[in-house]
Structure 1
Amino acid sequence: MKMKQDKSMQNATKPSYFVLSGLTDDPRLELLLFTLFLLFYVVTLLANISIIVIISGDSRLHIPMYFFIKNLSFLDLCYSSVILPKTLATFLSVTKTISFVECVMQMYLFGASVSLECFLLGVMAYDRYVAICNPLLYMILMKKRFCVQLVGFAYLGGYLNASIHTSCTFQLPFCKSNKIDHFYCDVPPLLKLSCSDTTANELVMFIFGGLAEISSLTTIMVSYSYIISTILNINSQQGRKKSFSTCTSHLMTVGIFYSTIVFMYLRPSSSYAMSQDRIASVFYTVIIPMLNPLIYGLRNKELTRAFMKIREKYTPWLLLL
């Protein structure tokens, strides 16, 4: 009898669906946001797919650096597709509901994407360290098999981290409400719906989330300390400029990504508000996946040349259609 009561209580605290509050309650503003987000999503898809196609189709770009850039574009493609289609649908929906299973999968895939980007940016920093500090050994050290292993470990770490956060969150009873004060399923707003003590969950989020971010950031900082030291010892000004130019796109990506993390997690708790968190989340889910391929595409001469070559090759055929 007691087991039946516990089971019924557990079912009662696991809602079949959640309601997303979205970004605004103003219908006119929702229509504007829908148009903007749809535009951003289309640009994100086109830009990232273009990077993947260009790198895959040009044999000259089949080197470790572009292998990692292609994986970053694939990650950004998946990253935005986890959140944006549902967000676009909620802009046009009256109920703004998301099923329990959809919510679990969205949180899991989003958490994996954030952790993956942390690890992948660290791997890319190590790649730049080997290329600049040990250029003669670059192709020997960064063999294809080793590069695949590095990306594989990044995926393993990302999905393991997401599994821990997701399983810890959804084992909680949600008896306060089923309305999520956010435009997608994320850990902090879901913890607020639980009627049990969430201290352990917050500790897990801090430890494992911080571990992914700190380990990646440490790798980036150590790598660039050696890179800067090596560049400063280059006698030729042209040589220093050329070496540093190969790092600028990565540094810009790291700066945008980690500045968002700092804003979200390293500001005083007294200034915390869900409205601020939603703004930062827009950068995560909308802006960063769109900016990354544009940064690499516009600043990388090899990618630009490869794109121009493809355009010259296929433009005459397109004009005939």
Structure 2
Amino acid sequence: MSPEVQRKLTTILAADAEGYSRVMQADEVRALGILQAARGVFSKFIQRHHGRIANTAGDGLIAEFPSVVEAVQCAIEVQQELSSKRRDPGGALHFRIGIHLGDVMVDGDDLLGEGVNLAARLQTMAEPGGILISQQVYDQVHAKLSVGFDYLGEKRPKNFSEDVPVYGVSHGKGKRKSEEKKHVPPVARSAQTSQSKVQSADRLRESVIRYAGIVGAICAALVIIDLVTGSPFWAHFPGIALVTLLCLYATPLLVRDGFSLMLARGGVVVGGLLLVNLATWSGYLWAMWPVGGILLIEIIRRLGFRKR
């Protein structure tokens, strides 16, 4: 790399004509005129939005902009202008456009590096007349432009080792933010999911504390009633049932995994049965039968799932 080459962060717009070779084969002179007219449209809007054309190889071009918002707005206006020209007798070419904000190398007037390559790959993935942008561009413009953005998922650009999030720009005239397709970027979606889980756990914890107070008050009232009536002690039976239900409700606070949660709740039920057995102890461990039945049902259920 020569000493004059420098690096900088910039917004790269890559554009390429779709089907230009086919038009050339049909009529070279007409095809050249249409391409020159399209380049005039690009040049007009690129200058209007304070960008510059870095390269015009073949039927495509590379441009850079100091502002991400200006780059996307330029692409939208170019596509709208070309769309209106396609209705004229002379016609116009369909262009694909890709936009990326990234680090590039500057060699004279040329832009080089992975930032340029990604913009060019986004352009190749766009539909004719369409605009694709990277996650870096979306983060900067989605709240600043009155157009729609469609999250298209993570895609693997050619010769790239990792997938990248890709967004399409809905650049139809009269589009308003209220009409745009609602979506959540992958990073934001993960953060929202984590936050939702934390909030759910907090709500469950508050409910368990509230129910524990209610269960405690009910048990105390049952004991007092039992003592006042002077009958054989019975308050421990509804007390055991209430505590067992409370523990079943609270187990998700301690165990999150589905299988572990099932085992924990099974243990709570077994513990409740054993307490009732002890409270009615007559020398016979009858709790082993319902406990064994529960285990047998679970074994049969799991074997059935495995066969499927």
Q: Choose between structure 1 and 2: higher helix proportion.
A: 1
The TM-score range, normalised by the shorter chain, is: under 0.3
TM-score normalised by L of structure 1: 0.26
- Who wins on radius of gyration, i.e. which is larger? 2
For normalisation by structure 2, the TM-score amounts to 0.27
Tell me which of the two structures has the higher relative contact order, counting C-alpha pairs closer than 8 angstroms and 6 or more residues apart: 1
Greater strand share, 1 or 2?
2
